[in-house]
């Protein structure tokens, strides 16, 4: 600080001759006034420098008493500059303060209840475990065993070789940042017993091997994962202790599966700008009205499922700007999927299914969704959009490519399925509906279809209406069977109307 002040003084003094020279030819009084103003400025700079130096000295004196409070109130806590008490072996700490690891040790470090400590591992290793009570802080080293953190505790720049857990399932507002979790076994319990926990810039991996593993999270109520990496599967609430209420994941990458199996307590799940090899949310035992938002998620598969015997009527699902190999919705409701791409190809892990699959769903809007199925197996005939036993679904401005299947297929009777402004491009069949299906098709196009553009099951009566502004281009037939004229079908007149404004 003193050096900077001196530099400023030297710089200002260098300006003085130029000021005096510039004023030559003017009255001495003006020159004296400028010199007087300059001297006052220099005096104020000196006073400010002295004040800052005094404040720093006072902070240094009280550092050991206030460092824990400072750490709790900042995202990136500064290291305490006070002299710390060295740790040379196993210890049970009964006095609050600042500690440091003087060497590698074998044993445990434990703090008594109510004791607040800052522990700097100094790059050393604890061949054992560490357990901190509330308001603790540990950083800069390796812990080969487990790490236990009380409420309002933090761990940063730590390599953890065992279970990360809270104290008595009650730890809240715990932060772990810039740390690595390494485990000796392919299947491990990674995290347990927290009311609220944030993992920021963390990595979960198998010790010593670049092999996928399974990392289980249990008995955590509120979990946030930011800018983190998981080499393997991350399973949440797979055990009997299912307490998850909120899960938030941002800018993270999971090389395996992200599987969430919450109990009835789930209220909100958010995944934002992340990459997951396979995402699945099992709502079998979830009641209430869970809200799910996926934005900018890239995955080979994104799936939602509810109980086999009934629809989950109160789910709220928003999918925006996602990119997946396949989207499956089974017995869920209130779906909004928009600005999204689904692509099934031989290179993916799902090679025999529709990119967008709805089964026993209700109340949904799919807008600006593109589903492409480039599989070349004509025997499978997999569609782009598959809708079965569903109701009240609108497809608006969607685009489907199914080279050997149907662009929009309704193989099982559904209710009020509507298509507006949709395109079937290069499909075997453009639009196809099973007998008993109701709804409408307007402002839609079938282009380059190998079999038919718009059809129903074997020409049988169906209450879906190919209502208006229907266009077919480069299509072999326009309806089945071929004996029925492409521009008119008596069955449609008796059910809901006739073909109108059809462009052949």
Query: Nearest Cα to 172, choosing from 223, 111, 235?
Result: 223
What residues form DSSP beta bridges with 139? 120, 156
SS3 content of the chain, % helix, strand, coil (to 5): 15, 45, 40
Q: State the chain's mean pLDDT as an integer.
A: 79
Q: Could you tell me the pTM of the whole model? A: 0.76
Q: What is the pLDDT of residues 279-337, one digit of tens each?
A: 999 887 777 788 999 999 999 999 998 877 667 778 899 999 999 989 999 999 999 99
* Domain end marker among 35, 61, 87: 61
pLDDT at 377: 52
Q: Which residues contact 14 (CB under 8 A, 6 or more apart)?
A: none
Shared domain check, 192 and 54: no
| Burial class, 277, CB count within 10 angstroms (exposed 0-12 / middle 13-18 / buried 19+) | buried
Shared domain check, 37 and 184: no
pLDDT at 344: 78
* Domain end marker among 14, 30, 61: 61
What residues form DSSP beta bridges with 25? none
Domain that holds residue 443: 170-495
pLDDT at 20: 43
pLDDT at 36: 64
Tell me the mean pLDDT per 10 residues along the chain, length 504.
Answer: 48 48 51 62 58 53 47 43 81 95 95 95 96 96 96 96 89 95 80 95 79 84 95 82 87 94 86 95 80 95 84 87 93 95 65 81 96 66 88 96 87 91 89 84 85 66 62 64 37 35 42
Shared domain check, 367 and 225: yes
Query: Nearest Cα to 441, choosing from 476, 478, 484, 475?
Result: 478
* Domain end marker among 61, 81, 101: 61
420 in a domain, yes or no? Answer: yes
Q: Tell me the C-alpha distance between 200 and 226, whole Å.
A: 5
H helix or E strand, kind and range, residue 59: helix 28-61
- Per the structure, the count of domains in the chain is 2
Query: Nearest Cα to 266, choosing from 202, 310, 315?
Result: 315
| Burial class, 406, CB count within 10 angstroms (exposed 0-12 / middle 13-18 / buried 19+) | buried
161 in a domain, yes or no? Answer: no
120 in a domain, yes or no? Answer: no
Shared domain check, 178 and 56: no
Shared domain check, 199 and 51: no
pLDDT at 348: 43
Q: Residue 450 carries which DSSP code?
A: S
Distance in angstroms between the alpha carbons of the first and the last residue of the chain:
83
pLDDT at 422: 95
51 in a domain, yes or no? Answer: yes
101 in a domain, yes or no? Answer: no
CA atoms within 13 A on the CB side of 494: 6
Q: What is the pLDDT of residues 204-223, one digit of tens each?
A: 988 765 566 888 998 999 99
471 in a domain, yes or no? Answer: yes
Query: Nearest Cα to 150, choosing from 105, 189, 93?
Result: 93
Asked if residue 433 lies in contact with residue 412, where contact means CB atoms within 8 angstroms, the answer is: no
Asked if residue 17 lies in contact with residue 61, where contact means CB atoms within 8 angstroms, the answer is: no
Shared domain check, 318 and 193: yes
Residue 9, classed as helix, strand or coil, is helix
pLDDT at 453: 76
284 in a domain, yes or no? Answer: yes
406 in a domain, yes or no? Answer: yes
């Amino acid at each position: 600080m003193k050096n900077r002040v001196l530099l400023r003084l030297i710089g200002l003094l260098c300006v003085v001759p130029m000021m005096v020279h510039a004023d030559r030819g003017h009255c001495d009084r003006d020159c004296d006034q400028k010199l007087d103003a300059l001297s006052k400025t220099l005096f104020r700079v000196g006073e400010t420098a002295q004040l800052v130096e005094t404040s720093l000295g006072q902070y240094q004196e009280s550092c050991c008493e206030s460092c824990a409070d400072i750490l709790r109130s900042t995202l990136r806590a500064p290291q305490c500059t006070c002299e710390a008490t060295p740790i040379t072996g196993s210890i049970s700490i009964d006095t609050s303060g600042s500690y440091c690891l003087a060497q590698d040790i074998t044993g445990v470090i434990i703090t008594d209840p109510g004791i607040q400590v800052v522990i700097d591992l100094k790059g050393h290793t604890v061949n054992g475990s560490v357990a901190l009570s509330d308001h603790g802080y540990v950083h800069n080293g390796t812990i080969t065993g487990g790490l236990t953190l009380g409420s309002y505790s933090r761990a940063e720049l730590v390599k953890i070789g065992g279970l990360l857990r809270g104290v008595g399932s009650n730890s809240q507002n715990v932060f772990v940042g810039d740390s690595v979790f390494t485990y000796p076994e392919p299947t491990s319990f990674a995290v347990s017993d927290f009311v609220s926990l944030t993992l920021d810039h963390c990595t979960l991996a198998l010790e010593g091997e670049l092999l996928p593993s399974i990392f289980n999270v249990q008995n955590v109520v509120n979990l946030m994962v930011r800018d983190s990496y998981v080499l393997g599967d991350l399973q949440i609430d797979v055990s009997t202790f299912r307490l998850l209420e909120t899960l938030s994941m941002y800018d993270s990458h999971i090389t395996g599966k992200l599987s969430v199996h919450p109990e009835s307590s789930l209220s909100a799940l958010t995944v934002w700008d992340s990459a997951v090899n396979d995402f699945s949310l099992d709502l079998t035992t979830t009641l209430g009205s869970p809200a799910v938002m996926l934005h900018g998620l890239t995955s080979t598969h994104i799936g939602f499922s509810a109980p086999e015997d009934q629809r989950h009527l109160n789910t709220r699902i928003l999918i925006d700007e996602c990119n997946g190999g396949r989207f499956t919705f089974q017995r869920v409701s209130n779906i909004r999927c928009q600005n999204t791409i689904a692509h099934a190809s031989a290179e993916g892990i799902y090679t025999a299914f529709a990119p967008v699959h709805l089964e026993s769903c209700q109340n949904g809007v799919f807008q600006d969704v593109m589903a492409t199925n480039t599989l070349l197996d004509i025997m499978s005939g997999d569609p782009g959009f598959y809708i079965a036993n569903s109701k009240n679904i609108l497809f608006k401005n969607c685009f489907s490519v199914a080279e050997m299947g149907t662009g929009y297929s309704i193989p099982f009777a559904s209710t009020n399925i509507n298509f507006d402004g949709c395109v079937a491009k290069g499909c075997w069949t453009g639009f196809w509906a099973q007998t008993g299906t109701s709804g409408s098709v307007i402002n839609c196009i079938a282009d380059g279809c190998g079999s038919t553009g718009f059809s129903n099951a074997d020409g049988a009566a169906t209450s879906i209406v190919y209502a208006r502004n229907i266009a077919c281009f480069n299509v072999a037939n326009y309806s089945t069977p071929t004996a029925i004229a492409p521009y008119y079908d008596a069955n449609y007149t008796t059910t809901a109307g006739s073909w109108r404004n059809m462009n052949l």
